Amino acid sequence: MNQTSKNDNPNWWREAIIYQVYPRSFLDTNGDGVGDLAGITDRLDYIAGLGVDIVWLSPFFKSPMKDFGYDIEDYCDVDPLFGNLGDFDRLVAKAHSLGLKIMIDQVMSHTADTHAWFNESRKSRDNPKSDWYVWADPLPDGCPPNNWLSVFGGSAWQWDTRRKQYYMHNFLVSQPQLNFHNPEVQQAHLDAQRFWLERGVDGVRMDACVFHFHDRQLRSNPPALVRDTSTVTDVNPYGMQAHLYDKTQPENIAFLQRVRAQLDEFGAVSIGEVSSDDALEQMAEYTEGGDKLHMAYSFNLLTPVHTAAHIRTQVEEFNERVKDGWASWSVSNHDAIRVATRWSDGKPTPALAKLVLAMQLTLKGTPCLYQGEELGLEEADVPFELLQDPYGITFWPEFKGRDGCRTPMPWQASAPQAGFTSGQPWLPVAGPHAAVAVDRQDSDPDSPLNFARRFIAWRRTMPQLTRGEIVFFDAPEPVLALRRDVDGMDGVLAAFNLGPEPVSFDWAEAAQARALDTLGLPGSAAASRVTLPPYGAWLGSVPANAE
């Protein structure tokens, strides 16, 4: 069994590792070119073999797929592309038999415009669901009621001829924003969540959870004092506003408390996706007190910036602000350029892949790994003609969207489509990915995949890494140097070279350290001199209480 049982340890999720599966691109078993639930079930042994605990499934619900499942038409059914409820039940049963927990992705903020709720709401200004979405009259000059912008480009308001009003959408025009000020909307979501909890899911990811509520007075946002480029690309004007009124509203706290109360009935856990002007603040606010979300992640490590100072600041500031809340640190996911490319200035190497895994698994917080990171996959170069992501199509060519991190998992180096499908994949298998497919890496003890397995297994034996305090040390860029401690146990020192040049530096702490060299990390220490090759790392153990 992989995980700590939730019965033994109520905080088991703090010590866990999350693995994100993007179902469209994991494994296709029916040859339609799109991954499916049966494919995930088929590869649960692989996932369990990594040593992770929780499998987060990106949305597989009924959807018109304009945003590839993040636009939901029916919260309580599986899209036929992915299978059916029976397939989901089989997936959960097998996961549980392997000691894995299943986390679904709840996209509450908005629905698809094909959802029955929206069809009804848009019919008239006085139907029973007329107030389920965010509707507003035009200004006297016909313009939208305020300056709110959509993350995916343009105004957040779309004119609807049936009601002769605007409706709000934070993302695509086809993703109308629900009105959480209406208690019926909140209840409908809680009911849908209960449907899945009763089916055996162990957790939920709360998509875009800062967007649930909007300012009832519809006040315009002021300009941003500092342009936000962490949550959106720098060619997106969305980052030019201070998002005071279109998201992060105080009413969300009470709603998250209702969600938590329901999750607690089932012993289920939650992770929130936080994208806001001060994401560390919302991560702290939403996770402290033990009565809202269990953990939250932001886009703060999904950035191109990867200096040691940046990483240190995120983790350190979160811990300073958070009291008893909890972070999850993501360095890659289905919304960001793959880290192997993003943090290597486009020159990914297996050494970098291992370094990033080791670093992510050493930070304080629950790590969330994205499918393919264990292989060190680089960002795929998807040509404009094959682009699927509407976000990328709008902002091309300066921003290419999210297709490059969503291409199929390569399973077999020599099989057609790298073993992902017997048909035509919905996104091309990236040329360089076949050579680093799972079967190739399986047979290479030095591969990122085998390193990930070893490191995860070792981490499980090190309470310092799963629940220890963290302190950082000054080291020359690009070295991230830290120590993890649990009372009464030896401390763990770690130094990560985030750059492509060798580094050597003096670290007084290292003088007393015994190298933890069983993992095959390429760094070394002689007395206080730590030497790290390009993208190298060194780990050492120091006696408890050594200063």
- Pairing mode of beta strands 101-106, 54-57: parallel
Catalytic residue among 265, 469, 477, 501: 265
State the binding string over 124-163 for ligand NOJ (x if CB under 6 A, else -): ----------------------------------------
With binding defined as CB under 6 A, does residue 21 bind ligand NOJ?
no
CB of 464 to ligand NOJ, least distance (A): 32
189, amino acid identity: H
With binding defined as CB under 6 A, does residue 379 bind ligand NOJ?
no
Alpha carbon distance 228, 237 (integer Å): 9
State the binding string over 248-287 for ligand NOJ (x if CB under 6 A, else -): -------------------------x--------------
Alpha carbon distance 421, 382 (integer Å): 18
CB of 282 to ligand NOJ, least distance (A): 14
DSSP for 300-335, written as a single string: TTSSS---HHHHHHHHHHHHHHHTT--BEEES--TT
Beta carbon nearer to ligand NOJ, 48 or 271: 271
CB of 66 to ligand NOJ, least distance (A): 10
Count of residues engaged in binding ligand NOJ, rule: CB under 6 A: 9
Pick out residues in 171-200 that bind ligand NOJ (CB under 6 A): 171
- Number of Cβ within 10 Å of residue 69's Cβ equals 25
| For residue 397, cis peptide bond before it (omega within 30 degrees of 0) | yes
State the binding string over 216-245 for ligand NOJ (x if CB under 6 A, else -): ------------------------------
Q: Is 265 a catalytic residue?
A: yes
Residue 383 is encoded by which pair of tokens? 């040509």
Alpha carbon distance 342, 347 (integer Å): 9
CB of 475 to ligand NOJ, least distance (A): 33
Catalytic residue among 36, 67, 87, 207: 207
- Number of Cβ within 10 Å of residue 197's Cβ equals 19
CB of 43 to ligand NOJ, least distance (A): 22
Q: Is 251 a catalytic residue?
A: no
Spatial contact of 168 and 160, defined as CB atoms under 8 Å apart: no
Query: For ligand NOJ, which residue of 70, 88, 318, 496 counts as binding (CB under 6 A)?
Result: 70
CA-wise closest residue to 233 among 168, 310, 169, 151? 151
CA-wise closest residue to 465 among 498, 499, 490? 490
All residues at 6 or more sequence positions from 356 whose CB lies less than 8 Å from its CB, including other chains: 331, 339, 340, 343, 373
Alpha carbon distance 261, 258 (integer Å): 5
CB of 175 to ligand NOJ, least distance (A): 6
Alpha carbon distance 37, 39 (integer Å): 5
Residue 448 is encoded by which pair of tokens? 């990122």
Spatial contact of 527 and 511, defined as CB atoms under 8 Å apart: yes
Query: For ligand NOJ, which residue of 28, 36, 67, 202 counts as binding (CB under 6 A)?
Result: 67
CB of 150 to ligand NOJ, least distance (A): 10
With binding defined as CB under 6 A, does residue 420 bind ligand NOJ?
no
Query: For ligand NOJ, which residue of 102, 208, 295, 449 counts as binding (CB under 6 A)?
Result: 208
Spatial contact of 356 and 301, defined as CB atoms under 8 Å apart: no
Burial class (CB in 10 A: 0-12, 13-18, 19+), 188: middle
CB of 152 to ligand NOJ, least distance (A): 8
With binding defined as CB under 6 A, does residue 107 bind ligand NOJ?
yes
With binding defined as CB under 6 A, does residue 207 bind ligand NOJ?
yes
Beta carbon nearer to ligand NOJ, 277 or 490: 277
SS3 150: coil
Residue 521 is encoded by which pair of tokens? 């990390």
With binding defined as CB under 6 A, does residue 246 bind ligand NOJ?
no
- Number of Cβ within 10 Å of residue 192's Cβ equals 17
Beta carbon nearer to ligand NOJ, 12 or 180: 180
Which residue's Cβ lies closest to ligand NOJ?
A: 70
Query: For ligand NOJ, which residue of 36, 335, 403, 485 counts as binding (CB under 6 A)?
Result: 335
Beta carbon nearer to ligand NOJ, 110 or 354: 110
* Binding region for ligand NOJ (CB under 6 A): 67, 70, 107, 171, 207-208, 273, 334-335
Which of the residues are catalytic?
207, 265
